[in-house]
Structure 1
Amino acid sequence: MTAPLAHPSYRSFFADLAPLHVDPEALHALGRPGGPCDLGEDCAQDTDSAVAAVWPFFGQFLAHDITADRSPLVDRADPARLLNARTPRADLEALYGAGPVGEPYLYRSDDPAKLLLSASGVDVPRNHEGIALVGDPRNDANLFTSQMAVAFIRLHNRFVDRLRAEGAADVFAAARRELTWHYQHVILREFLPGLIGAPLTAELLEDGPRLHRADDEPYVPLEFADAAYRYGHAQIRHRYQVNATFGPVPLFPDLMGFGTVAPEHAIDWALPLEQRAKRMDVRLPTSLITLPTQISGARPGTDYASLANRDLQRGQAVGLPSGEAIARRLGVEPLPAEQIGLGWTTETPLWFYILKEAEVLHGGDQLGPVGGRIVGEVLVGIIDADPGSFRAIEPEWTPARPFALADLLLGQ
């Protein structure tokens, strides 16, 4: 019996580069309330980007899928076999869990090929205490990711109905593959071009990653998990209009998850598709600088309740190099100190540098060459390394009709 991987492997892209060490008090000063990373409450500021407000939440949903940390489960049909050997893949394990046999509570008892929804049909299923029954509990942390799971469930169930009508033999497996390939299509052909630019996306899809090569042990680079892919924190708006009667409200505490979603709070996805995400820069809205205790474990207003502080400290804790050092390694001219704007004698924490790069070079609408290279390499590399992905099985595959994230969310 092969020992399963209960979580993805993490290691560095640039292990030979020296870690950047910044005085902890200086990091705290950057991220605490009132510091340079605090956007404040001035909603009159023009902070809108050209990017739809839904995309950072899709990015969060994808991050949970890639980094799902799942304990191995016993296959009830074969107790000698363990389920959930985990490698980092964009394969919707955060939705499907261990499947109808391994985690039957995620599926309808009267039709196990279909995923379960709440009785109202507008929420994920929950137990009698309101705890979400989902493949990854992190997707219940806010309304957007839990409602995104609802949209994925609905589409899977529609695929089951269609495939069953067409006479497919194993409708669950066929529907799962179809939904996963549509999801990967959105990642590679819509999400990435908007986030890192069409030219870099085309290069990675044509030539393959040069840093994140498929090998016998797929992994999540620390530079991705603890810096570059935390770009989405800077795209969170001050407030969101959720539907015609709910909003505008901040993400926290108003849209915090961990409880039943009433029909009057269900997201009208047309609105987040029309609203704009905040421009990427080093400033986060107040709702992320003073996180609720349920999210951070700290008292709001303290340093450890600031998501900016947590991002900065995480990068230092795992020994990430500076943004400038990685830029030089990639053959990119580093941003000059006056554009970074810190006034430090040391170089710049990678998370802060990547957001400054997006702001200075692209007006906050997309990542720059350092952030874009790291994110693009990892997402293309993970999908290319997955033997079940459309890139591995049928590289020229496209959906039967034009398909975008909006079609998934709006049920079209």
Structure 2
Amino acid sequence: MSEAATGGSRFSRRSVITGAAGAAVATSLVLGGGRAEAGVPTGAWGHGGAATLRGADVVVKLGRTRQGKFGLMFPNLKPYTPPESALTRLAATMVDRRPPAPDPSAARDGFDNFAVPSGYTFLGQFIDHDITLDHTPLEQATADPQGIRNFESPALDLGSVYGRGPTADPHLYDTARRPAGFLKVDIRDGVEDLPRDASGKAVVGDARNDENLIIAQLHAAFLCLHNTLMESGMSFAAARQQVTWRYQWLVVNDYLPRMCGADVVQSMLERPKTGLGLRFKNSLYKPQNLTKPMMPLEFAVAAYRFGHTMIRPEYELHDNHTKPIFGAEGYDLRGRRSVQREDRIDWSYFFDIPGMSVPEGRNFARLVDAKLSLPLATLPATVVGDSPVAALAERNLLRSVRLGLPGGKAVATAMRLTPLTDQQLGVNDPKLGGDVPLWYYVLREAEVLKGSRVLGPVGARIVAECILGFIALDPTSYFSSGFTREPGYGMGAFLVEAGVVQLDERMAPDPEVPDLPEEPELPEDPGLPEAPDAQEPPT
């Protein structure tokens, strides 16, 4: 029987790709604190750790056309190799000097993106952890340092929530409840938290989801929704499938349109002329091995790191309770500790909640631009370890060069776009060699061409095509079904369904569905007999 039928383990492609799932690689790297799986870095606020990612150096060590856990979208482009001193100078220009404010409403400094509530920053981090989660046994990871054979392909299958299933990871499941399959979750005094052992360590499928108090409570919401569906009478397998499909649907219809633009997402999807589901139309993401697809370095090390610029210096968790992302330990948002009642999130400060008014202190994401909030310029030792480089921007820029990525202008030209000029990029350093790192280009492109509201054409295409491709190449994803949600269903409705939203005096008398990007009206498949490009290896 299948694992979905038995409820014994994960039903996604991860378990059937190969006997061993690959070593974990985080697009948001983490160091310090916490126990790691084989090769899985862990620590506070997974932004910019210095550890070398297993397999991320594949093109440097084995050649630009090689693919394993990682590979290149543009293998024919030369690596961009400016002197690192020039990147250090560029990073010094990428700091938003505003310090954390006592209240977000008191810090309206022109850098708020009022179209994106800040919860989507953390949903993006959750997605990142999901697609980079890996369970390669240590001995197999050691024997395959470039991640060519033993690795786990990217998939949005909630491995961080379900682990490898009740049989392989029984510690994630509440064996005292019947029927079998309920997930452990800690609910104390109305506070939803991750389950923890006696030392306070989170018992979850991915320790990175305990990096900060916000993502920890977001993860707990997924646990609560699964249990709520089981309490309604669903089996474990059915509840797991429904939670996973809701999540994937939200990524496609709520998250990606806000980050990349609904038109970009629409252009990559079509409905088949007959039958159910969606079909993915790609032009850039063409993994050589369709059963073990790689993750493009242009996505992992550059484009998807746009989320770093969306991070605020501070967040209001609920009325009159604001904390900085980094500050005095125990008084900031760093995780690895139980969520106290005063730190319980009022989700209306992070997402549009159906029927609830917007609080005055609503946290909005920072604009997507070439500036990072001040606390990210001096990351604490719990993040950077012994590294002398404490600025996240500098760490990102250095990493892209050391891993052999092409420059931003070169990528734009390869995509048949007119690249930004040095003036538009805001650079005049001849040592940069006429180009800039791809990550920096993606940020400036959003600022210059899209007013910092969404990603520009290079960044949006890479991000949307990779994430949609990861979903499309998973045969168990909602793309292969007729699953959908009602118009207006967004993260706020998901959290209401999970039972983690506090109903208070701000409930509107006449609930209205919040304005969300509409589900794309996709063109019908013209009936071509050929599968989409992603189904064909590159020539």
TM-score, normalised to structure 2, is 0.69
- In the alignment, is residue 405 of structure 1 matched against residue 491 of structure 2? yes
Deviation at 1:198, TM superposition (A): 1.1
The residue correspondences of 1:2-401 to structure 2 (distance < 5 A) are 3-7=19-23, 9-31=69-91, 35-41=92-98, 43=107, 45-49=109-113, 50-72=115-137, 86-111=152-177, 112-120=180-188, 121-162=191-232, 164=233, 168=234, 171-206=235-270, 208-213=281-286, 215-247=290-322, 249-253=323-327, 254-273=332-351, 274-298=362-386, 304-345=389-430, 346=433, 347-392=435-480, 394=481, 396-399=482-485
How much does 1:402 deviate?
Answer: 5.2
- Is the deviation greater in 60-69 or in 4-13? 4-13
Closer/same/farther in 2, CA of residues 232 and 157 from structure 1, 3 Å limit: same
Deviations 1:80-112, CA, capped at 9 Å, x for gaps: xxxx97321001001111111111111112124
In 2, Cα distance between the equivalents of 1:192 and 1:181? 15
Name the CA shift for 1:22/1:204 in 2 (closer, same or farther; >3 Å): same
Count how many residue pairs are aligned between Structure 1 and Structure 2.
387
> 2: distance between equivalents of 1:322 and 1:85?
27
Matched residue of 2:469: which SS?
Answer: helix
The Cα of 1:400 is off from its aligned counterpart by 6.3
1:310 and 1:85 map into 2 onto residues whose CA distance is: 25
Aligned residue identity for 1:191: Y
Q: CA shift at 1:278, angstroms? A: 0.5
Report the alpha carbon displacement of residue 381 of structure 1 after superposing the two structures with TM: 0.4
Q: In structure 1, what residue type is equivalent to 2:181?
A: A
1:33-73 superposed Cα distances (whole Å, 9 cap, x missing partner): xx211111265631101211111110110010000022359
Shift of 1:119: 4.8
| Deviation for aligned residue 1:122 | 1.8
CA contact (8 A) 1:30 1:37 kept: yes
In the alignment, is the contact (CA less than 8 A) between 1:13 and 1:222 conserved in 2?
A: yes
Gaps of 5+ in 1: 74-83
Once the two structures are superposed, residues 143-195 of structure 1 have per-residue CA deviations (whole angstroms, 9 ceiling, x without a partner) of: 11111101111111111112x1xxx5xx1111000000000100111111111
* Cα deviation 1:121-146 (Å, max 9, x = unaligned): 52101111111111111111111111
> Which residue does 2:37 correspond to in 1?
none
Q: Measured at CA, do residues 305 and 298 of structure 1 come closer, stay the same or move farther in structure 2, by a change above 3 Å?
A: farther
Q: Equivalent residue for 1:79?
A: none
Unaligned runs of 5+ in 2: 1-15, 25-68, 100-106, 139-149, 271-279, 352-361, 500-539
The one-letter code sitting in structure 1 at the alignment partner of 2:230 is V
Taking the aligned partners of 1:122 and 1:217, their CA distance within structure 2 comes to 36
1:81 corresponds in structure 2 to: none
Q: Distance in 2 between the 1:367 and 1:401 partners?
A: 24
For residues 113 and 72 of structure 1, the distance between their equivalents in structure 2, rounded to whole angstroms, comes to 25
Evaluate the alpha carbon distance shift between residue 85 and residue 37 of structure 1 in structure 2; reply closer, same or farther with a 3 A threshold. closer
Task: In structure 1, give the amino acid aligned to 2:313.
Answer: H
CA distance in 2, matches of 1:267, 1:176: 25
Offset, 1:238: 2.0
* Secondary structure in structure 1 of the residue aligned to 2:295: strand
Cα separation, 1, equivalents of 2:227 and 2:364? 30
Higher helix share: 1
Which residue of structure 1 lines up, in the alignment, with residue 11 of structure 2?
Answer: none
Q: CA deviation at 1:359?
A: 0.7
Q: How high is the sequence identity, in percent, across the aligned residues?
A: 37
Q: How has the CA–CA distance of structure 1 residues 203 and 260 changed in structure 2, closer, same or farther, with 3 Å as cutoff?
A: same
Cα 1:44/1:399, change in 2 over 3 Å = closer
Task: Classify the secondary structure of the residue corresponding to 2:166.
Answer: helix
Runs of 4+ in 1 over 3 A off after TM superposition: none
Deviations 1:235-285 (A, max 9, x none): 0112110112421x2212410111111121111111122421110111111
Q: Which amino acid in 2 is paired with 1:39?
A: D
Counterpart contact for 1:106–1:135, Cα < 8 Å:
yes
Q: Distance in 2 between matches of 1:117 and 1:296?
A: 30
TM-score scaled by structure 1? 0.89
In the alignment, the residues of structure 2 paired with residue 44 and residue 85 of structure 1 have an alpha-carbon distance, to the nearest angstrom, of 44
Counterparts of 2:22 and 2:418, CA distance in 1: 39
Is the 1:72–1:85 contact (alpha carbons within 8 Å) kept by the matching residues of 2?
no
AA aligned opposite 2:417: V
Matched to 1:220, the amino acid is M
2:152–2:292 Cα contact (<8 Å) kept: no
Q: Is the 8 A contact 1:208 1:380 kept in 2?
A: no
State the 1:295 CA deviation. Answer: 1.4
CA distance in structure 2 between the aligned counterparts of 1:385 and 1:405, rounded to whole angstroms: 24
Question: How many angstroms apart in 2 are the aligned matches of 1:310 and 1:181?
Answer: 35
Name the CA distance, whole Å, in 2 between partners of 1:151 and 1:61. Answer: 12
